[in-house]
Amino acid sequence: GDQVEQSPSALSLHEGTGSALRCNFTTTMRAVQWFQQNSRGSLINLFYLASGTKENGRLKSTFNSKESYSTLHIRDAQLEDSGTYFCAAPNNNAGAKLTFGGGTRLTVRP
Amino acid sequence: GPKVLQIPSHQIIDMGQMVTLNCDPVSNHLYFYWYKQILGQQMEFLVNFYNGKVMEKSKLFKDQFSVERPDGSYFTLKIQPTALEDSAVYFCASSFTKPSAETLYFGSGTRLTVL
C-alpha cells in the first residue's frame, strides 16, 4: 500500500536555529499536506502543496513529486514551534483519504 | 480559517456501553473523515464518507463502528459496544473536494477513555 515515511522521528533545536524535516513517499503522490500537532493535541494546517514551494513566515515547504519527497524547513525556531509535525498524502487509488507519516517530534529549547 | 468542531472534547465511558462522537464539519464541505490516534502516535485512517455513504474504511473500522450524517446535521461516529482498545483520540476532518485536490481541515479531537 501507499507509504509515507518521515525523518527524523525526533529533533531537538535551540531557539533561533533551524532545520529540515523530510517526508519520503514509496509511490508517486499527487499532493502533500503538513500539519503541526501542538501540546494540546490540535492539528494545525501548515501547508498544502501539489507542486513547488510555499513559504509562510519562518516555515517553508517543498514538494518534489517526481523524486517522491517533501521537506519542511523551520528557521529561527521559537519555543512555540515545539510539537509533532506530520506530513500526509492522498492515496492514489481514489485520492479520497490522507495517509499520514509517523511524525517528527520537535523540541525547541531555550 | 475554516473550523471543524468536535463535541465533546473528552468522554469517559464504561466498556460495553455505546458512545457517539459528534463532528460539526465546515459548512459547505462534502467529504468527511474519521481518524484515530493513540497516545500521540500516528494518525490512523478509519473511514471516509461522501454523499451519504461510506466510500472507504480501514481494518480499524470494526463492525462495532458506524458513521452517519442525517440531513446535514452532525457527522457522527458511533461505537457500540465499546472495548478497552477503543481508547484513543478521534479526529474528524472535512473537505470540499478529495484530498488529492485540496486541504483537509481537522477538528481538535475527542479523547475517548474506555474503562
CA A110 distance to own-chain centroid? 23
- The grid cell for A42 is 490540535
Taking an 8 Å cut-off on Cβ atoms, the answer to whether B106 and A43 are in contact is: yes
The CATH homologous superfamily to which domain B5-107 belongs is Immunoglobulins (2.60.40.10)
Residue B28: DSSP 8-state? T
The verdict on A1 touching B (C-beta cutoff 8 Å) is no
Taking an 8 Å cut-off on Cβ atoms, the answer to whether B42 and A103 are in contact is: yes
* Beta strands A52-56; A59-64: pairing state: antiparallel
Taking an 8 Å cut-off on Cβ atoms, the answer to whether A98 and B45 are in contact is: yes
pLDDT at B36: 97
Instruction: Give me the residue label for grid cell 500500500.
Output: A1
pLDDT at A2: 57
Distance (Å, rounded) from C-alpha B106 to C-alpha B115?
Answer: 27
The verdict on A43 touching B (C-beta cutoff 8 Å) is yes
Taking an 8 Å cut-off on Cβ atoms, the answer to whether A100 and B43 are in contact is: yes
pLDDT at B99: 74
**Residue B78: how many CB atoms within 10 A of its CB?**
13
pLDDT tens digits, chain A, 110 residues: what are they?
558 999 999 999 999 999 999 999 998 888 999 999 998 888 999 999 999 999 999 999 999 999 999 999 999 999 999 999 999 998 766 667 899 999 999 999 99
Between CA A91 and CA A17, with CA A65 as vertex, the angle to 5 degrees is 105
The CATH homologous superfamily to which domain A4-109 belongs is Immunoglobulins (2.60.40.10)
pLDDT band per the 50, 70, 90 thresholds, residue B102: confident
CB nearest to A97's CB, from B42, B45, B111: B45
Give the chain A residue whose CA is nearest to the CA of B108. Answer: A42
CB nearest to A97's CB, from B33, B103, B109: B33
| Mean local confidence (pLDDT), B100-107 | 86
What percent helix, strand, coil does chain A show, rounded to 5? 5, 55, 40
Cite the DSSP H helix spans in chain B. Answer: none
pLDDT at B35 over 90: yes
| Residues of chain B found within 8 Å of residue A56, distances taken between Cβ atoms | none
Phi-psi region of B100 (alpha: psi -120 to 50; beta: other; left: phi over 0): alpha
Q: Nearest Cα to A43, choosing from B108, B32, B65, B25?
A: B108
- The grid cell for B78 is 458511533
Residue pair A21/A81 in contact (Cβ under 8 Å)? The answer is no
Give the chain B residue whose CA is nearest to the CA of A85. Answer: B42
CA distance B69 to chain A (A): 18
Residue B42: DSSP 8-state? -
Domains in chain A: boundaries: 4-109
Show the 3-state SS of A40-103: CCCEEEEEEECCEEEEECCEEEEEECCCCEEEEEECCCCHHHCEEEEEEEECCCCCCCEEECCC
CA distance B2 to chain A (A): 10
CA distance B39 to chain A (A): 10
More confident residue, A97 or B44: B44
pLDDT at A95: 63
CA-only gyration radius of chain B, Å: 13
Domains in chain B: boundaries: 5-107
Distance (Å, rounded) from C-alpha A96 to C-alpha A101?
Answer: 17
Per-residue pLDDT of B45-90, as tens digits, reads 999 999 999 999 999 999 999 999 988 789 999 999 999 999 999 9
pLDDT at A32: 94
CB nearest to B99's CB, from A41, A86, A96: A96
Residue pair B104/A47 in contact (Cβ under 8 Å)? The answer is no
